[in-house]
Amino acid sequence: MAKSRIVPTWQNAIVVLSGTVVSLIIIAGLQWGRPVLIPIALAILLTFLLNPIVKKLQILGPGRIPAVMLAVAAVGLVILLIGGLVVQQVSGLVAELPQNTANIKAKVRTLRQLSSSPLAKQFERMVAEISSDTVLPFSATGLPQAEVQKQNLPVETDAPSSGSVGSESTLWLGLTGYLSSALEVVATLAFSLILLVIFLISRDDLRDRVVVLAGRARVAVTSKALEDVTERISRYLVVVALLNGGFGLILTAGLFALQVPYAFLWGFIAGSLRFIPYLGPWIGAVCPIAMSLATSDGWFQPLAVFGFIVVVELVSNNILEPWVFGRSTGVSSTALIISAAFWLYLWGPLGLALSTPIAVCLMVLGRNIPQLSFLYLLMGSEPALNADMGLYQRFMLGDEHEATRLIIQRLKTSSAEEVFDEMLIPTLNFAKRDVLRDQLSEEDHKLILDGVEQSLRHTDEFRATKTPINEKPETITPADEIGPTPVTNRPVNLLICPASDASDFLATEALRQSLSPTHWSVERTAVETLTSELVARVALDPPSILVVVALTPRGLAQARYLCKRLREASPQLQIIAGRWRLKRNEKMEREQLEQAGASFVTTSLVETCRLLNSRLPLLIQERSISSQTRPAPLERSSEPQVADIPAGGCGVTRLES
């Protein structure tokens, strides 16, 4: 086995320091280069959005360049039409808003009347009394209140007013500020449009350059991954645009039906602001509600507008979006919040609008490109640990209650053998592996085993309450049954033996709980039972079938020895050797165990249960034939018997149904 090379601490420190420096340089570059990077990011996202349209147009006949020009011209025309309608409605709103002063005053007067109620006055009196008792002797500046009041006294000055010169300079400065902001926005949009056309035309060339940059030896893998990334991101952006646009149209129709003025303007604002995560929908909902308060004579229309927006939001968030996207966009909520704060700080409101698409792009890249897999690990919504490793971690930390809750939660939807095989058995395997590697102390190993034992106790109680008590015994009719009457379903005797240690013994308990007590009478031997005692027990009262459990890693030698001794003592006994979670050298271990005397070799708990259940009719038939050819045994009590073994004693643990 190749030894793992230990990396020195100073090398790890250099790697961490280099990563920190590179991250700071990237953040500084994003902040410093925002005038150039914002148009590039906007052009890339618009390229993903328009690329499906360009592909459809290119299939219909025109070449690449005409298809790009048609798509960009069509989108630009739609934007111009929508922009013209928005500008027209904004102009009308500005002209009409002063006419609604009377309605606004009436609403304010109503709110004042509500605030003058006896309950409100009593609340104000309570606040005033509390405030009077908590007056601070010093102000926030550290000076006494008396000195602060003296300093705040009005001081008469004879300085002349600036007059018209100051007002003209202020007006000119404000005008130049507005013009510079407008020019900056126009320049950003123009640059983004130019880049959009270039990206759409030279899409294939840019893709080939990225593929070659990743390495000529990985052309096929990189090309497939890049194409998958492009399709996923394009599909996501198209769906988001359609959902937000549809939300805006539905809101426009609803506001128009409720006779809210300028319904198209509010629908456009609400649909556009939904691209901004978390804050956008709230801001978009405030505008039509405020307009309804300003223009309506009563309170019915504002309340109706509020209720309509709430219903549309609930339907969109809980029905449409989960149905379209699946359970989520694939990005965790924590990553979305951090992404929104990060890009808002770097690029302002436009960065906030681009934060969710950028997060989705990074997550998809991390899922498809191995070198960027850390992005998917940090930003993805899937659990970082598998179910078995997560359960092992909880047992290792001593959180057996949470581990038991996870197991019982899975038992509600899956069978016991599947849950134990996918969660509990791997936990025992991981514990044995880490002990052999000296990565787990004996105390921690005992803590894990105790936790698994307690969990098995709770799962047994849960399954007992879940299974009906007054269930009638079933009748099993073997295929080659002799005689006209069916064989009654008296439980078949099954003996389960751990090969070496306590982990194997806990695995035998998992197997017992996975089998139906109606069909099987399970008997488990203790870990302390000697092989000679087990051989004598089998020779005295042979069971119908026997299972030897030896979890990996290790345990092969003990399982072979046990199978060999049992085969020598009882040549007709059916022996199943369970090497659960066996992944390496499976063929070799199967041959060794079969040569030692095992009738069957299974590599999982599920396989063992299926094998036992498949052989159940044959075992019942064999028992029926043997009962006809030998004297009837002594009658046993019909009540369940449990014989426990002392910790240091020898014997078996007998569990009969």
Token pair recorded at residue 499: 């090969």
For residue 216, being part of any structural domain is answered with no
What is the 8-class DSSP label of residue 104? H
Q: Cα separation of 252 and 265, whole Å?
A: 8
For the stretch 464-500, pLDDT in tens is 886 543 344 444 444 444 443 344 557 889 999 999 8
* Cβ contact 222:215 at 8 Å: yes
655 and 507 in a common domain: yes
Question: Greater confidence, 541 or 104?
Answer: 541
Above 90 in pLDDT, residue 507? yes
Query: What is the pLDDT confidence band of residue 13, given thresholds at 50, 70 and 90?
Result: confident
Above 70 in pLDDT, residue 455? yes
446 and 392 in a common domain: yes
- Mean pLDDT value of segment 178-207: 82
For residue 178, being part of any structural domain is answered with no
652 and 530 in a common domain: yes
Query: What is the pLDDT confidence band of residue 651, given thresholds at 50, 70 and 90?
Result: very low
651 and 545 in a common domain: yes
Q: What was the pLDDT predicted at 560?
A: 92
Q: What is the 3-state secondary structure (H, E, C) of 189-214?
A: HHHHHHHHHHHHHCHHHHHHHHHHHH
- Mean pLDDT value of segment 171-188: 68
* Cβ contact 429:506 at 8 Å: no
Q: Is the peptide bond between 261 and the residue preceding it cis, with omega within 30 degrees of 0? A: no
Q: What was the pLDDT predicted at 470?
A: 39
Domain count, the chain: 3
From 175-184, 469-478, 517-526, the region with the lowest mean pLDDT: 469-478
For residue 247, being part of any structural domain is answered with no
* Cβ contact 514:609 at 8 Å: yes
Looking at the chain, the whole-number percentage of residues with pLDDT higher than 70 is 76
CATH number of the domain where residue 496 is located: 3.40.50.2300
For residue 246, being part of any structural domain is answered with no
Query: What is the pLDDT confidence band of residue 629, given thresholds at 50, 70 and 90?
Result: low
Q: C-alpha dihedral over 274, 277, 282, 288, to 10 degrees?
A: -20
For residue 328, being part of any structural domain is answered with no
From 114-128, 282-296, 392-406, 542-556, the region with the lowest mean pLDDT: 114-128
619 and 514 in a common domain: yes
440 and 399 in a common domain: yes
Domain boundary among 134, 169, 201: 201
Looking at the chain, the whole-number percentage of residues with pLDDT higher than 90 is 15
DSSP, residue by residue, 431-483: HHHHHHTT-S-HHHHHHHHHHHHHHHHHHHHHHHHHS-TTPPPPB---TT--S
544 and 403 in a common domain: no
**Residue 85 belongs to what H/E stretch?**
helix 64-96
Burial label, 492 (beta-carbon count in 10 A; 0-12, 13-18, 19+)? buried
Q: What was the pLDDT predicted at 497?
A: 93
651 and 515 in a common domain: yes
648 and 516 in a common domain: yes
* Cβ contact 545:567 at 8 Å: no
Q: What was the pLDDT predicted at 5?
A: 58
For residue 142, being part of any structural domain is answered with no
Which residues form the domain of 652?
490-629+638-657
603 and 541 in a common domain: yes
CATH number of the domain where residue 406 is located: 1.10.1240
Token pair recorded at residue 87: 């500008």
pTM for this entry:
0.62
Above 60 in pLDDT, residue 1? no
507 and 649 in a common domain: yes
Token pair recorded at residue 31: 């902040």
389 and 498 in a common domain: no
Q: Cα separation of 655 and 473, whole Å?
A: 18
Instruction: Compute the mean pLDDT over every residue in the chain, rounded to the nearest whole number.
Output: 78
Rounded (5°) CA angle 375-377-382: 130
What is the 8-class DSSP label of residue 497? E
From 47-51, 224-228, 568-572, the region with the lowest mean pLDDT: 224-228
Q: What was the pLDDT predicted at 124?
A: 64
For residue 310, being part of any structural domain is answered with no
For the stretch 128-159, pLDDT in tens is 655 555 444 444 444 454 444 445 445 444 44
> Helical H runs in 316-441?
321-325, 333-368, 373-379, 387-396, 400-411, 416-419, 425-436
543 closest CA partner among 417, 652, 421: 652
For the stretch 233-244, pLDDT in tens is 788 788 888 888
Q: Cα separation of 339 and 65, whole Å?
A: 35
Domain boundary among 201, 230, 247: 201
For residue 510, being part of any structural domain is answered with yes
Helices (H) and strands (E) in the chain, counts: 25, 7
Residue 423 neighbours by CB under 8 Å, 6+ apart: 387, 388, 391, 406, 407, 410
Q: What was the pLDDT predicted at 636?
A: 42
